[in-house]
């Protein structure tokens, strides 16, 4: 097993100049950091900035010091896109609104603008500028309710939440553009399976369970905790994403998940073991649109991207806990 924080060696030649949208976010900031570590120039676009958003500031802290990082604060649903993409070898389009449960609420228009409309605008500009490759962040949520067996990319899709509908629309929109005769851009849509690790979003379950243990407050559990997720460590997700930039393939949809699942009760057990503290649970009803299980068939990622995930749940949770404990310590000084 690799160190949870180490950078995997790239499987394919690296791009020279990359655009990362959503660079102030959880996965985007790790991706930008890894690309910079490999000597790639990164144009990091996000509508949040370090000046106005503390969580963006924490995500961007390591990037801002790097000479190869060019930060741009812009809203992709309204800004001019073409100047951002000039001379790019690849666009990693990770910007979007990610939560499953809030997508039922009044913010749905933001999901449509940021997940669908922004993708259309990026794809139009990429086509016009003949950017060779667009890698777009899709989601395991497009599969919806499954029987718990590993989902393959050719399985039927049955999105169970408005969020999942927008992610399916996003990937299919980009793939449809890629079939146009005038389009020189190939699209690789990566269906990420519940990504975790340092700087995970605060609404996500591993963060919430570890934070509850560290801060000694109750963890709200939606349902009975038997729901299972194919948890994917962020550096593993980043390794697949970097390979997707230059892998010698045509347009494709590829799962990014290891195919091993854990229940929330398992995550709680590991959190107790890692922190040496209790996790007090507060039960509330299962949320509508929450699927009982996600599980990836990772054969395509292995075959097309040479992807082999290397960090398991406990090792990755330990790395996430270390970051969280340090942040908690600084906040209480």
Binding site for ligand UGA (CB under 6 A): 98-100, 139-141, 192-194, 203-205, 208, 220-222, 227, 229, 264, 287, 290, 294
Binding partner of residue 150 among ligand NAD, ligand UGA, none, CB cut-off 5 to 8 Å per kind: none
Does the footprint of ligand NAD cover residue 290 (CB under 6 A)?
no
Q: Is 100 in the site for ligand NAD (CB under 6 A)?
A: no
Going from the C-alpha of 273 to that of each of 217, 233, 237, 276, the distances in angstroms are 17, 19, 25, 5
Backbone phi and psi for residue 6, each to the nearest 5 degrees, phi listed first:
-80, 155
Which amino acids are annotated catalytic? 163
Residue 61 to residue 285: CA distance in whole angstroms: 37
Q: What does the CA dihedral 54, 206, 268, 323 come to, rounded to 10 degrees?
A: -50
Contact 168, 142 (CB under 8 A): yes
- Tokens representing 75 are 């809203």
Q: In the set 32, 85, 173, 195, which binds ligand NAD (CB under 6 A)?
A: 195
3-state secondary structure of 237: helix
Query: How many other C-beta atoms lie within 10 A of the C-beta of residue 286?
Result: 13
Name residues contacting ligand NAD, limited to 5-24 (CB under 6 A). Answer: 22, 24
Which has the closest alpha carbon to 301: 258, 260, 246? 258
CB of 258 to ligand UGA, least distance (A): 12
Applying CB under 6 A, does 28 fall inside the site for ligand NAD?
yes
> How do strand 133-139 and strand 90-93 relate by DSSP bridges?
parallel
Binding span for ligand NAD by CB under 6 A among 8-16, 147-155, 192-200, 303-311: 192-200
CB of 77 to ligand NAD, least distance (A): 4
Beta-strand runs (E) in 143-284: 186-192, 195-196, 219-222, 228-229, 232-233, 252-256, 262-263, 281-284
Distance CA 324, CA 332 (A): 12
Rank residues 200 and 275 by Cβ distance to ligand NAD and give the closer one.
200
What CA–CA distance (Å, rounded) separates 109 from 217?
A: 33
What is the smallest separation between the CB atom of 135 and ligand UGA, expressed in angstroms? 16
User: Whose Cβ is closer to ligand UGA: residue 75's or residue 266's?
Assistant: 266
47 binds, among ligand NAD, ligand UGA, none (CB under 5 to 8 A by kind): ligand NAD
Footprint of ligand NAD on 71-90 (CB under 6 A):
75-77
Q: Which stretch binds ligand NAD (CB under 6 A): 193-201, 258-266, 288-296, 306-314?
A: 193-201
Query: Which span (95-103, 179-187, 260-268, 270-278) binds ligand NAD, by CB under 6 A?
Result: 95-103
Residues 124-163 that bind ligand NAD (CB under 6 A): 137, 139
User: Cα separation of 175 and 180, whole Å?
Assistant: 9
Nearer to ligand UGA, 76 or 256 (CB): 256
DSSP SS3 for 274: helix
The contact set with ligand NAD (CB under 6 A) reads 22, 24-28, 46-48, 75-77, 94-98, 114, 118, 137, 139, 167, 192, 194-195, 201
């Amino acid at each position: 097993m690799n160190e949870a924080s180490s950078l995997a060696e790239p499987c394919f030649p690296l791009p020279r100049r990359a655009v990362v949208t959503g660079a102030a976010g959880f996965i985007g900031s790790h991706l930008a950091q890894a690309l910079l570590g490999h000597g790639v120039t990164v144009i990091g676009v996000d509508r949040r900035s370090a000046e106005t958003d503390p969580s963006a500031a924490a995500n961007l802290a390591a990037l801002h010091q790097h000479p190869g990082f060019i930060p741009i604060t812009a809203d992709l649903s309204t800004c001019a896109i073409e100047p951002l993409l000039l001379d790019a070898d690849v666009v990693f389009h990770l910007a979007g609104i990610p939560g499953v449960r809030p997508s039922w609420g009044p913010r749905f228009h933001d999901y449509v603008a940021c997940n669908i409309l922004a993708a259309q605008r990026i794809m139009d500009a990429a086509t016009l500028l003949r950017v060779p490759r667009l890698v777009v962040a899709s989601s395991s949520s497009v599969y919806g309710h499954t029987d718990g067996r590993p989902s393959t990319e050719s399985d039927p899709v049955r999105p169970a939440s408005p969020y999942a509908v927008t992610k399916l629309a996003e990937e299919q929109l980009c793939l449809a553009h890629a079939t146009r005769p005038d389009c020189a851009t190939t699209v690789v849509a990566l269906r990420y399976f519940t990504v975790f690790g340092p700087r995970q979003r605060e609404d996500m379950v591993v963060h919430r369970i570890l934070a509850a243990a560290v801060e000694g407050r109750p963890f709200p559990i939606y349902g009975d905790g038997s729901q299972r997720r194919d948890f994917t460590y962020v550096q593993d997700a980043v390794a697949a994403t970097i390979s997707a930039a230059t892998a010698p393939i045509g347009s494709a949809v590829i799962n990014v998940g290891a195919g091993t699942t854990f229940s929330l009760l398992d995550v709680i057990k590991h959190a107790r073991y890692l922190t040496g503290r209790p996790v007090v649970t507060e039960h509330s009803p299962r949320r509508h649109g929450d699927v009982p299980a996600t599980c990836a068939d990772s054969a395509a990622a292995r075959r097309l991207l040479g992807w082999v995930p290397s960090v398991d749940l406990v090792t990755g949770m330990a790395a996430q806990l270390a970051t969280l404990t340090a942040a908690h310590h600084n906040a209480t000084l």
